[in-house]
Chain A
């Protein structure tokens, strides 16, 4: 149980285009999901907290107009990178917390590798 999926797993796009990444909790409901970004050989940096039915909370330095987050259901959150540029190339990972769980365990998705040319 506690599986989180992401789609797509890899995406290559041209500079200036927008890319949408989906994060789904497959076997549990998640009122809260998180989006992280990880550059090569670096740690995970929290970008934003996504709450079902409300606006996302962005970390300092993350442009909310560039990284659009939508959490329309208890099992789906999407991250849209708008007008992507080469510096946005990174590994994007989502995580989710089981709303019905007793612990704080975050279950991570497999990540999405974004390459902007």
Chain B
């Protein structure tokens, strides 16, 4: 059972544009939602994370929007750059258990 659904599978954005990746979860016990960036052959790196008590969190060009009632959260990458081309994973976990459940990933390509 896929507990975190991520879309789109792939995304092509022009340089300077906004990249938007969406995730939906099923388990209402999830209370920590991080986004990871992964380059080929490398481990994932944490970009930004949010908890359900806030609806939005911004760090630099990266923003998470969170909708608790809809059980959805999204990543917005403003002013997308070619260096942002990577695979992005949303994830969710339960405080205490800590193990992450990952979405299926989105391959982002930012064209110059």
A75 to B4, CA, bound (A): 30
Q: For chain A, what secondary structure do more than half of its interface residues adopt (helix, strand, loop), or is it mixed?
A: strand
Contact present for A46 and B41 (CB under 8 Å): no
Chain A residues bordering chain B, tally (CB within 8 A): 23
The contact string, 1 if C-beta is below 8 Å from chain A, for chain B 81-112, is: 00000000100010100111111110000000
Q: Which residues of chain A in 80-117 are interfacial with respect to chain B, using CB atoms and an 8 Å cutoff? A: 93, 95, 97, 103-111, 113
Which of B12-20, B44-52, B58-66 forms contacts with chain A?
B44-52
Q: Which of B36, B41, B43 has the most CB of A within 10 A?
A: B43
Q: When the two chains form the complex, which single residue of A103, A106, A111 contacts B100, counting CB atoms closer than 8 Å?
A: A106
A-B pair count, CB < 8 Å, reads 53
Q: When the two chains form the complex, which single residue of A105, A109, A113 contacts B41, counting CB atoms closer than 8 Å?
A: A113
Q: Which of B44, B49, B95, B103 has the most CB of A within 10 A?
A: B44
Contact present for A34 and B49 (CB under 8 Å): no
Say yes or no: is A49 at the interface (Cβ < 8 Å to chain B).
yes
Contact present for B34 and A109 (CB under 8 Å): no
Say yes or no: is A54 at the interface (Cβ < 8 Å to chain B).
no
Contact present for B99 and A44 (CB under 8 Å): no
A111 to B98, CA, bound (A): 20
A sample of 20 more A-B contacts (CB under 8 A), given A42-B105, A105-B49, A111-B43, is: A32-B98, A43-B89, A43-B104, A44-B44, A44-B89, A44-B100, A46-B100, A46-B101, A49-B99, A93-B43, A104-B49, A104-B93, A105-B34, A105-B46, A106-B98, A108-B36, A109-B43, A110-B42, A111-B41, A113-B41
